[in-house]
A and B are shown apart, each in its own frame.
Chain A
Amino acid sequence: MRVTVDQEMCVSAGQCSVLAAKVFDQREEDGVVVLLDEQPPSELDEIVREAAAICPVSAIGLTES
């Protein structure tokens, strides 16, 4: 799975980084999403999908391979 994030859109709700800390982090100065791993290992697929689903502004994009 390929992951993308939209930093313009992000509202720093921070749930993605709680759910999948190996894939998402938050920028120090404003909590905006930082993508750590754009092709996470498949065992993280489910939690990354959940992170994308609960993002309040759909700032996480997924491309299933």
Chain B
Amino acid sequence: MGNSAVSADHSPTEADPVPYPMARATGCPFDPPPALTTPESQERMRKVRLWDGSSVWLVTKYSHVRMLFADKRVSHDTAHPSYPHESAGFKERAQQGKSFVNMDSPEHQRLRRMVTAPFASRRVESLRPQIQEMVDGLIDAMLAGPSPTDLVESFALPVPSLMICLLLGVPVEQQKFFQDTARIIISTDSPPDVVNSAQGALLDYLEGLTVEKMTRPGNDLLSDVAVKHVATGSITAREAAITARLLLVGGHETTANMIALGTLALLQNPEQLAVLRDTDDPVLISSAVEEMLRYLTIAHIAPRRFAMEDIEVDGVMIHAGDGLALSLDAANRSPEEFPDPQSLDLLRDARKHVAFGFGPHQCLGQPLARVELQVVYGTLYRRIPTLRLAIDPDLIDFKDEGIIYGVRSLPVTW
């Protein structure tokens, strides 16, 4: 029945597109919704219906996803009426403080380049000893503290939170405020007024900090932006705060969820956990991190774009103004690119995954995320080889509603 509605020329069926996002299958918390990984769905684009009733093209095929992310006729301008927002809260957020992520170049490129220096591979690599020391310290504290403990609170969130605070130059004492705000901002369940006030408070705070750093700069990214770009008038303190918010929020929930969800996935796949527990080979650990990124693809709500011109993809015509949802999790489960895609295999070469997105907006924090994850995955299971769940796996609460997937808490013991 369903198939008969699809016309031969692959044009979208107007007959009631299915709602998106879809739910994951019960008992398969690490797999994308089944509808995204069937052979048919991986081959062709189809229209899906969003929260506001609008419909967009859902793109699932690896090559299509990469191509469209990189296509100059595709826009990420969230102020444009054709932009298909993730929720009412996201729409509100985009109006209030548009960061460079939500712009096209040349403006995107100009603003992005103001903050890329500290994320360069060599600069991040030089932080490795500091990250290692921090990870060891958190593990020491965990081992000395009560068991069971929540791995999210005691380890997964502090690692990236401390690092991004240090790098940006925002006070570590404000961590709780940052963590709470980040949670509200990335949830598609947050109503517009809640997003508005949470984000407003964070922006006001960061703007004040930027102004302070113009006169008393430290050795950090926000000081750098304040001195080089705000003091010289190329951006305002508010714009600097918007960029800082982007990095702060981006630096919190992403790596934290990779650590906690990743640990759960490894505990559920003991033979894979053993690969990491029994090695100190940096090449193997680095390759394992790429597979964890591919397998988990925590950015599980397809990033949005829209077409500025007509674009033909494999015989399907995307019209100017059509919305696009480019599914990273479906692309990362492509059987052509990653044989036996549904299994976690730390020994495979997964480097060409798109877990960080693709195109000009690809995650700028990826070198930092990689080093953090290499240190974490390379240390945690070796130092606590008896690490195990302290809860029935069926009772684990997953963050299905956020644009970043993960677990709300992970009680563990050893």
Contact = CB atoms under 8 A, between A and B. Distances in A.
Nearest to A26: B120
Interface string B109-129: 100111011011110000000
Contacts of A14: 119-121, 366-367
Contact of A58 (B70, B112, B114, B366): B70
Q: Chain B contact residues (Cβ within 8 angstroms of A): what range? A: 20 to 34
Given A11-B361, A26-B121, A30-B113, 18 more contacts: A11-B360, A11-B362, A12-B116, A12-B364, A13-B356, A13-B363, A13-B364, A14-B119, A14-B120, A14-B121, A15-B366, A17-B122, A30-B116, A31-B120, A32-B116, A54-B352, A56-B358, A58-B70
Contacts of B113: 12, 30-32
Return the 10 tightest CB-CB contacts between A and B, nearest first: A31-B120, A12-B116, A56-B362, A31-B116, A26-B120, A14-B121, A30-B113, A56-B358, A14-B367, A18-B121
A53 B352 contact: yes
13 contacts: A11-B116, A11-B364, A12-B113, A12-B119, A12-B120, A12-B364, A17-B122, A28-B120, A31-B117, A31-B120, A53-B352, A54-B351, A56-B362
A53 to B, nearest CB: 7
Contacts of B114: 30
B393 to A, nearest CB: 34
Given A13-B362, A14-B366, A50-B351, A29 B117 contact: yes
Q: Chain A contact residues (Cβ within 8 angstroms of B): what range? A: 20 to 34
SS class of chain A's interface: helix, strand, loop or mixed? loop
Contacts of B361: 11
B69 A56 contact: yes
Contacts of A18: 121, 367
A28 B121 CA distance: 11
A58 B66 CA distance: 11
Contacts of A30: 113-114, 116-117
A44 interface: no
A17 B123 CA distance: 12
Given A11-B109, A13-B364, A14-B367, A57 B359 contact: yes
Contacts of A56: 69-70, 357-360, 362
Interface string A19-45: 000000110111110000000000000
A12 B69 CA distance: 16
A10 B56 CA distance: 29
Contacts of A15: 121, 366
Contacts of A31: 113, 116-117, 119-120
Contacts of A54: 351-352
B368 to A, nearest CB: 10
Contacts of B121: 14-15, 17-18, 26
Given A13-B366, A31-B120, A57 B360 contact: yes
A32 B361 CA distance: 14
A28 B116 CA distance: 10
Interface in B343-359: 351-352, 356-359
Contacts of B122: 17, 25-26
A40 to B, nearest CB: 18
Nearest to A9: B360
B358 to A, nearest CB: 5
A23 to B, nearest CB: 13
A30 B118 CA distance: 8
